[in-house]
Amino acid sequence: MQSTVPSLASIENWPVPTAAAAVVRADGTVAGSHGPTGQRFPLASVTKPLAAYAVLVAYEEGAIDLDEPAGPEGSTVRHLLAHTSGLAFDENRVMAAPGARRIYSNTGFEALGDHVAKATDIPFAEYLHQAVLEPLGMASTTLEGSPAKDGVSTVDDLVRFAAEVQAPRLLDARTVLDAMTVTHPGLTGILPGYGHQKPNDWGLGFEIRDSKSPHWTGATSSPRTFGHFGQAGTFLWIDPDAGWAGGNSTGAACVALTDRPFGPWAVEAWPPFTDAVLAELRAR
């Protein structure tokens, strides 16, 4: 396949030992890829959208309800998914009342995993496998610990996931729309690696770009862009307004995985990379 996204090759200039990237259209076709897309990389927090999708499957199956109690007192499944439960970043400590602040919390996602495991009587890693990974053919993806940060996957597998999110088969499209819509609008908070954001908008397991600045996506990314990045030097974004030739599709997703931890190199490299990818998509 000839790539329609030549800018993907610019990952060769990133100061990382290994990188792989791909773009997938909203109709599920892969527009281009570069690097070892079958190599497994630790995902870090790019694990969270996968875990959130499994939680939403549990909701649609009737095992849990989004507004049932979960986590600290007064918190719900929805609060945990949207980082508004009040739990601290990486410890089981309550820092705010539910819904009062956007506190990015690995602990909250671990509470989600425990909640779903208890409700389904299935360990969360196995539930994720049965509910999301196996149906999507993500045979190279595993959860090897925390549902907040211990996923391992490939670009090829994450392309399958990004295609699913853009054209859902495992979930009702209305549930996915809810996941990419701001939950508890107007809350401020810290976006890890990028400082205080006002507002710090989030959906259900997906970070929403809106007007955040600075940000890990591009200056030309639409405000509706959503996704996640990880401290392992990984990201997945979905831009519903990326645009395609002939008007056949109005969105696209990009996945990039590396084996160098997130740092200043990523802050510098990722936004222009995204802008170059979007420019090529919108020019065709």
What's 223's domain CATH number?
3.40.710.10
Categorize the per-residue pLDDT at 246 as very low, low, confident or very high, splitting at 50, 70 and 90. Answer: low
Q: Is residue 70, in this structure, part of any structural domain at all?
A: yes
Residue 17 lies in a domain: yes
> Has residue 205 got a pLDDT over 60?
yes
Q: Specify the pLDDT at position 244.
A: 59
Mean residue pLDDT of the chain comes to 95
Integer Cα distance of 248 and 215 in angstroms: 29
Mind listing the pLDDT tens digit for each residue in 113-123? Answer: 999 999 999 99
Does residue 13 fall inside a structural domain? yes
Q: Is the pLDDT of residue 2 over 90?
A: no
Structural domain that includes position 230: 6-283
CA 102 to chain centre: 17
User: What's the half-sphere exposure (Cβ side, CA atoms, 13 Å) at 94?
Assistant: 12
| Residues 194-216: b if buried by 16+ CB within 10 A, e if exposed | eeebebbbbbbbbbbbbebeebb
Q: Are 257 and 19 in contact (CB under 8 A)?
A: yes
User: What is the reported pLDDT for 247?
Assistant: 52
What letter would DSSP give residue 101? -
C-alpha to C-alpha distance for 101 and 84, rounded to whole angstroms = 6
Residue type, 147: P
Residue 81 lies in a domain: yes
Residue 81 per-residue DSSP state: H
- Which of 66-70, 204-208, 243-247 is predicted with the least confidence, judged by mean pLDDT? 243-247
What's residue 231's pLDDT?
A: 98
- Rounded average pLDDT over 2-15: 90
Q: What is the DSSP letter of 204?
A: S
Mean pLDDT value of segment 135-159: 98
- Return the pLDDT at 1: 45
- pLDDT value at position 119? 98
Predicted local confidence at residue 4, as pLDDT: 77
pLDDT in tens, 37-60: 999 999 999 999 999 999 999 999
Evaluate if residue 284 carries a pLDDT over 80: no
Whether 112 is in a domain gets the answer: yes
pLDDT in tens, 71-129: 999 999 999 999 999 999 999 999 999 999 999 999 999 999 999 999 999 999 999 99
Rounded CA-CA distance 255/220 in Å is 17
What is residue 25's DSSP assignment?
Answer: E
Residue with tokens 């739990």: 87
**Given this model, what pLDDT does residue 185 score?**
96
Q: In the prediction, which pLDDT does 283 show?
A: 81
* Structure tokens given for 283: 């020019």
Residue 246 covered by a domain = yes
Q: Is residue 141 one of the residues assigned to a domain? A: yes
Q: Domain count for the chain, please give it.
A: 1
Helices (H) and strands (E) in the chain, counts: 8, 11
CA 9/CA 273 separation, integer angstroms: 10
Residue 1, in any domain of the structure: no
C-alpha 260/C-alpha 192 separation (Å) is 17
- Structure confidence by residue, pLDDT tens digits, 189-202: 999 999 999 999 99
Handedness of CA 116, 59, 109, 17 (dihedral sign): positive
HSE (CB half, 13 Å, CA atoms) of 157? 25
